[in-house]
């Protein structure tokens, strides 16, 4: 079967590290063009204008958008208007309203829209979800700490309005939480720590309501020194589950379960396989639950000012 042609829009760190290698190994896709103001992809036509790329390549069925969330709506709207299927890097947009608008546009145009959550594809997330089903959860804790200087070096947009700050990585945790918890939760309170010279928070403490009385909380920090900590722990009457390394490692009552792999390994190839399946079936997938928690945190959160942040 011939490979479907896809264009990559926004050639930054995540595209270079994950999207391009995943597409190169894919049995479904051929990377046929790229759009970027600053970088080029070897071996394919490169453009600085989205409209120019769309006009030059009517054979490209799908556009994968990897730029920061604030400008993404206009690019997605243009692709949908041109009859192309659209794949959105997380978070799917700068606001909930614009993603709902894209969902409606895609539905009316008869094209696929896929709001991806790569952390849900981590090796042990599905196993964790299955284990938690039917368990009596007493305490559920998320600890998500990393160094923004490592993952977004000198990228000021993450601290600008719409950049989401700590919720850029923290939404990865929330995507796993909303996938594996058997019952829906909602935010009841938050403390958001804003650097004195920045517009988005660098740390957050979150508390949630759980319908069966479990204590659910999250601690997130983007100014963390040392090794990254991407852990989720569920203390249940039947035992203790712990996901480590962003869902790549699973422990049950302290015993590591088979199938562990590194953070991000296998996640993006699975996203592109899922996109191929969605396009083939004519379906869309737009789950905004992780983004709802972020919106609620920014609504309910108590703001605390902390020291200025410098790169």
Q: Distance (Å, rounded) from C-alpha 64 to C-alpha 116?
A: 10
* 111 lies in some domain: yes
Q: Using a cut of 0.85, tell me whether the model's pTM lies above it.
A: yes
Last residue within a domain, chosen from 56, 81, 115: 115
In a domain, 160, yes or no: yes
Tens of pLDDT, residues 213-222:
999 999 999 9
The per-residue pLDDT for 70 is: 95
Q: Are residues 88 and 132 in the same domain?
A: no
* Residue 302 appears among annotated catalytic residues: no
Q: Does the residue 75 lie in any domain?
A: yes
- Mean pLDDT, all residues of the chain: 96
Count of domains observed in the chain: 2
* Residue 117 and residue 275 in contact, taking contact as beta carbons nearer than 8 Å: no
Per-residue pLDDT tens over the stretch 154-207 = 999 999 999 999 999 999 999 999 999 999 999 999 999 999 999 999 999 999
Residues 20 and 164 in one domain: no
**What is the secondary structure of the chain as a DSSP string?**
-PPEEEEEE--SHHIIIIIHHHHHT-SSEEEEEEE-SS---TTS-EES-HHHHHHH-TT--EEEE-S-STTHHHHHHHHHHTT-EEEEPSS--SSHHHHHHHHHHHHHHT--EEE--GGGGSTTHHHHHHHHTT--EEEEEEEEE-BHHHHSTT-GGGGSTTS-TTHHHHHHHHHHHHHH-SS--EEEEEEEEEETT-SS-SEEEEEEE-TT--EEEEEEESB--SS-EEEEEEEETTEEEEEEGGGTEEEETTEEPS----TTTTHHHHHHHHHHHHHHHT--B---HHHHHHHHHHHHPEEEEE-----
Q: Is the pLDDT of residue 4 over 80?
A: yes
Instruction: Tell which of 71, 90, 115 closes a domain.
Output: 115
Residues 90 and 20 reside in one and the same domain: yes
270 part of a folded domain: no
Active site residue: 5, 13, 48, 90, which one? 90
Query: For residue range 69-107, what is the model confidence (pLDDT) as tens digits?
Result: 999 999 999 999 999 999 999 999 999 999 999 999 999
Q: Domain range holding 206?
A: 119-263+295-306
- 73 and 131 in a single domain? The answer is no
Residues 92 and 43 in one domain: yes
pLDDT for position 262: 66
Domain boundary among 91, 115, 139: 115
49 and 135 fall within a common domain: no
CATH number, position 63? 3.40.50.720
Residue 110 in domain: yes
pLDDT score of 2 = 82
Write out pLDDT tens, residues 110-127: 999 999 999 999 999 999
Indicate if 106 and 128 belong to the same structural domain: no
Examine the domain organization and report whether 157 and 301 are in the same domain.
Answer: yes
Name, in order, each residue with C-beta under 8 angstroms of 111's C-beta and a sequence gap of 6 or more.
Answer: 80, 83, 84, 85, 86
- pLDDT classification of 1: cutoffs 50, 70, 90: low
Per the structure block, which two tokens stand in for 27?
């049995």
Tell me: do 243 and 125 sit in the same domain.
yes
Looking at the structure, do residues 86 and 151 belong to the same domain, yes or no?
Answer: no
Position 259 scores a pLDDT of 83
Residue 276 lies in a domain: no
């Amino acid at each position: 079967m011939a490979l479907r042609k896809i264009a990559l829009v926004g050639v930054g760190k995540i595209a270079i590290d994950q999207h391009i290698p995943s597409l190169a190994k894919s049995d479904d896709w051929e990377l046929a063009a790229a759009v970027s103001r600053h970088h080029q992809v070897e071996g394919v036509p490169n453009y600085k204008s989205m409209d120019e790329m769309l006009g030059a390549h009517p054979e490209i069925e799908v556009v994968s958008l990897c730029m920061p969330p604030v400008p993404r709506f206009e690019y997605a709207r243009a692709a949908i208007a041109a009859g192309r299927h659209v794949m959105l890097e997380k978070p799917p947009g700068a606001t909930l309203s614009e993603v709902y608008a894209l969902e409606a546009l895609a539905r009316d145009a008869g094209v696929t829209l896929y709001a991806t959550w790569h952390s849900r594809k981590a090796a042990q997330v599905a196993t964790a979800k299955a284990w938690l089903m039917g368990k009596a959860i007493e305490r559920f804790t998320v600890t998500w700490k990393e160094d923004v200087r490592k993952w977004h070096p000198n990228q000021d947009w993450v601290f600008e309005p719409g950049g989401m700050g700590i919720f850029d990585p923290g939404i990865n945790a929330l995507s796993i939480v909303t996938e594996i918890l058997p019952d829906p939760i909602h935010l009841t309170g938050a403390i958001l720590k804003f650097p004195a010279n920045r517009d988005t928070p660098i740390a957050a403490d979150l508390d949630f309501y759980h319908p069966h009385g479990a204590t659910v909380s999250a601690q997130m920090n983007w100014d963390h020194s040392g090794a990254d900590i991407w852990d989720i722990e569920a203390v249940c009457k039947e035992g203790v589950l712990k996901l480590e390394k962003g869902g790549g490692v699973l422990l049950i009552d302290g015993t590591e379960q088979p199938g562990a792999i590194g953070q991000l390994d296998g996640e993006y190839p699975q996203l592109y396989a899922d996109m191929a399946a969605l396009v083939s079936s004519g379906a869309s997938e737009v789950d905004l639950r992780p983004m709802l928690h972020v919106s609620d945190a920014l609504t309910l959160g108590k703001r605390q000012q902390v020291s200025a942040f410098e790169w």
